[in-house]
């Protein structure tokens, strides 16, 4: 598809970039016009550039049409998208995510909780039987359990900060390495039919399940309406990005603005020099 | 290092998609908990037979079943006499200070005091452990070449010589524990909402140290200090340039008042971080008190 | 009961800036004397008879309190504190037994040997560590400390703190 570039709509590269950022703060427009995108786009400026690591490159795509349309090449920071794919760290993160909120309601009764067993069953001496004090002792059938589960048992724990951070970078690197990461200019769709988005995903051979990540929690109307009924297409703001969701969904689609924020936050956390934030996590002092 | 990373990422392109079902921990990461049962670890579970050990009725630590125990055999010695009164100065070497300046953790274009050193994040002290500030040690004496206006709490002669040889200036100043609490966690102190206190004078055993020019004390006569600077240059054999001719003269001459804790903030002021406002006292009595 | 109160005023002169917050200058300085009053109170003499009766408050306690009544903290055994000194690397030193006794019959070399402070062995050090609280096991940074050179053992690789300089192989 060929876009006619109207001269009065050609803007400065910086303004275009700023427009993309500001649009996330405002409510998205309800009309479903195909946004006019210039054939040229602003290249990304990487924070904390490394002299020794090469930046990764990814296509900038669009959701305007069902067929793939590449708008250009963007650079990704190697620390975030070219990190060591630590499977064990990913596993630890997934385990943490599932376990920290888990409360076990399994319960067994102790010997004093089991009904009965207050009386000495038979005299101490004379019967030739073993000596016992109560029929509900753990030795007896039907007696109390000594070290059994006691409900409710929380399994809350906090994974160390940098393990969680490396979990995110490992997963993003894995997604990028396995061609499951796509960068999109924005989540504006031309139509709000679920048909449109399913055909789009199918034609581009994106995985059965797709996670769309944007920079704000208020998403464009069309995509919200389209994905509402489809359970395997999910929308997420940037702050909801987590290892479990990224692995659960086959494909990860980030908007350019979301990519900027995610990279900025991850890199800032890697380059912090004050360890005051590493104090022991206390639930009542969040 | 990067070779293995690249290899791993390239491998992933040909391996199945990583999902929740094909991830695991590194082998050996988790050790299976062994229950003590039967011959190994079981039976008496490491307690032995009868006696105080198995019956968990142990003798007190150090007891030697009646004879004169080890810890009572020797004469007393006043090793720890006055330990609770002695001041401690966690050390910071000249080498470490040079590193901080080189790695931009300390800005040498401004006066460097205890606040700046703590803010660099590489020096820790805790007031409740009787720590009173920085003791600048002479490790790195040969390689020190940063020109800074430094304020520490304790410095020996070779250290002072090293700093002055590099063209800098050093002062030793005393901070009392209340001032130190304000310095060590400034944000927490400002959130308390109390006025910045006056720095107290050094105690009797320290006042001599901080009044002598040889130690570059903050209470010493500046004329004496310049004499000592000259004498030290002669002793250690380096050329002492006139400080007035130095382009950073204005910065090097900055000193705190003996009652001042922070540069740019006077005692009696209240810093409101939330509204980003400084409240200053207007009452005459208060002004007189804080200026004394 | 006799109480004698003696007061002494000691004046400590020092220099203070007349204009605070201004650059330190000889012109700005003003001599101020700090007045301090010290008072001495003589305690009355107590009859010696009182101390002969065993007082529960003065009985020696040799046990290690693992959880104190009021704060739930571990307490030290005072006997250990009075006789031993802990070095930062975990070693403990002590005086030799009899270093003050019957010196008149001990000749020079023997007296010299008794004057030495001696290290305790590993088992003893471990025992002493468990008999004192965490405050005593923490590193102390005194200035002009006579024991300063003994708090560090650089010659042993196990206790060395500073990294060794690396010299690349000559080729």
pLDDT bracket for residue B81 (50, 70, 90): very high
pLDDT value for C162? 83
The residue range of the domain holding C120 is: 78-150
Interval A243-260: pLDDT, tens: 999 999 999 999 999 999
**Residue B123 in this model has a pLDDT that exceeds 60:** yes
Q: From the centroid of its chain, how far is CA B194?
A: 24
Q: Is residue C56 part of a domain?
A: no
pLDDT value for A285? 66
Number of domain units in chain C: 2
Question: Residue A208 CB: number of other CB atoms within 10 A?
Answer: 11
CA distance B224 to B161: 16
Contact B25 A92 (CB under 8 A): yes
**Residue A239 in this model has a pLDDT that exceeds 80:** yes
CA distance C66 to A41: 69
**SS3 state of residue B124:** coil
The enclosing H or E element of C128 equals helix C122-131
For A4, A37, A213, A230, the CA distances from A9, given in Å and listed in that order, are 11, 9, 28, 36
Interval A67-93: pLDDT, tens: 999 999 999 999 999 999 999 999 999
Q: Is residue C113 part of a domain?
A: yes
Q: Is residue C160 part of a domain?
A: no
ipTM of the assembly? 0.83
Q: Is residue C130 part of a domain?
A: yes
Interval B35-63: pLDDT, tens: 888 888 888 888 888 988 889 888 899 99
Q: Is residue C67 part of a domain?
A: no
Rounded to 5 degrees, φ, ψ at B60 are: -65, 155
Chain B positions touching C117 (Cβ under 8 A) are: 77
More confident residue, C4 or A232: A232
User: Nearest C-alpha of chain B: how many angstroms from C48?
Assistant: 24
**B187, burial (CB in 10 Å: exposed 0-12, middle 13-18, buried 19+):** exposed
User: Nearest C-alpha of chain C: how many angstroms from B73?
Assistant: 7
Does residue B207 contact residue C12 with C-beta atoms inside 8 Å? yes
Mean pLDDT, residues B75-93: 95
pLDDT value for C53? 59
Mean pLDDT, residues B91-114: 95
Interval C86-107: pLDDT, tens: 999 999 999 999 999 999 999 9
Give Cβ neighbours of residue B242 (< 8 Å, ≥ 6 apart): none
**SS3 state of residue A76:** strand
Helix axes B2-12, A161-177, angle to 10 degrees: 50
Chain B positions touching C23 (Cβ under 8 A) are: 253-255
pLDDT value for C2? 35
- The residue length of chain B stands at 292
pLDDT value for B83? 94
CA distance A255 to A215: 7
CA angle A251, A253, A258 (to 5 degrees): 145
Same domain assignment for residues C45 and C88 = no
Which of C24, C83, C138 lies nearest to residue B74, judging by beta carbons? C83
- Mean confidence (pLDDT) of chain A: 87
Interval A162-172: pLDDT, tens: 999 999 999 99
pLDDT bracket for residue B215 (50, 70, 90): very high
Mean pLDDT, residues A24-52: 62
Interval B182-196: pLDDT, tens: 999 999 999 999 999
Does residue C84 contact residue C48 with C-beta atoms inside 8 Å? no
CA distance B214 to B227: 9
Mean pLDDT, residues C66-70: 94
Q: Is residue C73 part of a domain?
A: no
pLDDT bracket for residue B250 (50, 70, 90): very high
Interface test with C, best of B75, B85, B157, B208 (most C CBs within 10 A): B75
Helix axes A221-228, A194-203, angle to 10 degrees: 90
Q: Is residue C57 part of a domain?
A: no
Interval A210-231: pLDDT, tens: 999 999 999 999 999 999 999 9
Q: Is residue C121 part of a domain?
A: yes
The DSSP code for B282 is: -
């Amino acid at each position: 598809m060929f876009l006619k570039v109207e001269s009065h709509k050609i803007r400065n590269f910086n303004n275009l970039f700023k427009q993309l950022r500001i649009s996330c703060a405002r409510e998205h427009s309800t009309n479903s016009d195909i946004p006019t995108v210039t054939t040229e786009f602003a290249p990304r400026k990487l924070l904390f550039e490394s002299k020794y690591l090469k930046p990764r490159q990814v296509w900038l795509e669009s959701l305007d049409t069902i067929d793939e349309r590449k708008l250009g090449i963007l650079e990704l920071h190697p620390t975030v998208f070219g990190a060591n794919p630590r499977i064990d760290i990913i596993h630890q993160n997934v385990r943490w995510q599932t376990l920290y909120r888990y409360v076990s309601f399994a319960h067994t009764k102790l010997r004093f909780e089991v009904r009965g067993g207050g009386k000495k069953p038979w005299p101490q001496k004379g019967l030739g039987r073993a000596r016992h004090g109560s029929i509900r002792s753990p030795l007896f059938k039907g007696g109390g359990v000594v070290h059994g589960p006691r409900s409710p048992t929380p399994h809350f724990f906090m994974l160390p900060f940098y393990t969680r951070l490396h979990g995110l970078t490992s997963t993003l690197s894995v997604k990028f390495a396995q061609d499951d990461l796509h960068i999109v200019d924005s989540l504006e769709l031309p139509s709000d039919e679920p048909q449109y988005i399913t055909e789009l995903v199918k034609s581009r051979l994106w995985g059965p399940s797709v996670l769309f990540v944007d920079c704000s929690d208020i998403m464009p109307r069309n995509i919200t309406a389209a994905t509402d009924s489809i359970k395997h297409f999910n929308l997420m703001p940037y702050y909801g990005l987590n290892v479990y969701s990224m692995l659960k969904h086959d494909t990860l689609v980030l908007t350019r603005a979301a990519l900027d924020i995610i990279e900025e936050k991850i890199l800032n956390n890697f380059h912090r020099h004050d360890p005051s934030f590493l104090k022991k996590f206390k639930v009542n002092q969040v | 290092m990067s070779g293995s990373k690249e290899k791993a990422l390239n491998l992933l392109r040909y391996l199945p998609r990583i999902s929740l079902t094909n991830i695991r921990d590194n082998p050996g990461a988790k050790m299976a908990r062994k229950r003590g049962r039967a011959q190994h670890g079981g039976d008496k579970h490491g307690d032995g037979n009868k006696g105080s050990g198995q019956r968990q009725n142990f003798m007190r630590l150090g007891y030697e079943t009646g004879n004169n125990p080890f810890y009572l055999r020797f004469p007393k010695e006043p090793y720890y006499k006055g330990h609770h009164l002695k001041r401690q100065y966690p050390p910071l070497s000249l080498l470490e200070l040079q590193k901080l300046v080189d790695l931009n953790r300390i800005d040498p274009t401004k006066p460097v005091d205890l606040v700046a050193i703590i803010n660099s994040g590489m020096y820790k002290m805790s007031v409740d452990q009787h720590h009173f500030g920085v003791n600048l040690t002479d490790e790195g004496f040969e390689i020190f070449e940063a020109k800074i206006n430094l304020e520490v709490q304790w410095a020996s002669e070779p250290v002072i010589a090293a700093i002055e040889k590099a063209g800098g200036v050093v002062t030793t100043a005393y901070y009392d524990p209340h001032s130190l609490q304000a310095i060590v966690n400034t944000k927490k102190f400002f959130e308390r909402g109390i006025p910045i206190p006056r720095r107290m004078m050094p105690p009797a055993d320290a006042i001599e140290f901080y009044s002598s020019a040889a130690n570059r004390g903050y209470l010493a006569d500046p004329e004496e200090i310049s004499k000592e600077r000259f004498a030290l240059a002669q002793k250690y054999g380096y050329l002492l340039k006139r400080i007035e001719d130095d382009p950073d003269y204005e910065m090097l001459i900055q000193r705190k008042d003996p009652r001042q804790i922070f540069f740019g903030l006077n005692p009696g002021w209240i810093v409101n971080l939330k509204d980003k406002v400084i409240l200053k006292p207007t009452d005459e009595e208060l002004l007189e008190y804080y200026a004394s | 009961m006799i109480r004698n109160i003696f007061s002494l005023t000691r004046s400590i002169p020092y220099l203070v800036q007349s204009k605070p917050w201004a650059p330190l200058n000889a012109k700005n300085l003003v001599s101020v004397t700090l007045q301090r009053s010290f008072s001495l109170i003589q305690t009355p003499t107590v009859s010696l008879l009182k101390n002969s009766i065993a007082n529960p408050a003065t009985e020696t306690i040799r046990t290690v309190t693992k959880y104190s009544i009021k704060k739930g903290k571990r307490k030290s055994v005072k006997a250990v504190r009075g006789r031993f000194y802990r070095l930062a690397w975990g070693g403990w030193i002590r005086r030799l037994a009899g270093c003050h006794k019957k010196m008149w019959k001990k000749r020079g070399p023997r007296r010299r040997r008794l004057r030495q402070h001696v290290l305790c062995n590993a088992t003893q050090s471990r025992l002493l560590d468990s008999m004192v609280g965490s405050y005593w096991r923490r590193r102390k940074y005194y200035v002009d400390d006579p024991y300063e050179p003994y708090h560090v053992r650089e010659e042993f690789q196990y206790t060395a703190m500073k990294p060794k300089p690396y010299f690349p192989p000559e080729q």
